[in-house]
């Protein structure tokens, strides 16, 4: 998984809170991609789906009156 986090706009600060200082430093300084499963295990993402699969349940934060959940 490649995660583009910009320094200076808060991306790395948020990442430190999500996955810790050491792993964030590894990502930022090495620039090497990490697997989605590893980032999930560290608490950086909420869901991992298989290749070609689509997560059909939206996060409740994105279901609003302006964007209702449709069946």
Q: Do the beta carbons of residue 3 and residue 27 sit within 8 Å?
A: yes
Q: How confident is the model at residue 17 (pLDDT cuts 50, 70, 90)?
A: confident
Q: Do the beta carbons of residue 1 and residue 33 sit within 8 Å?
A: yes
In this predicted structure, what is the pLDDT of residue 62?
Answer: 65
Q: What integer best gives the mean pLDDT of the chain?
A: 76
Rounded CA-CA distance 39/45 in Å is 6
Is the pLDDT higher at 1 or at 33? 33
Over the stretch 33-64, which tens digit does the pLDDT of each residue have? 888 898 899 888 888 888 887 767 666 666 66
């Amino acid at each position: 998984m490649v995660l583009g986090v910009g320094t200076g706009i808060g991306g790395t600060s948020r990442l430190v809170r999500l996955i810790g200082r050491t792993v964030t430093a590894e990502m930022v300084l090495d620039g090497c991609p990490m697997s989605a499963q590893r980032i999930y295990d560290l608490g950086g993402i909420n869901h991992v789906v298989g290749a070609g699969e689509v997560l059909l349940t939206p996060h409740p934060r994105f279901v609003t009156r302006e964007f209702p959940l449709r069946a």
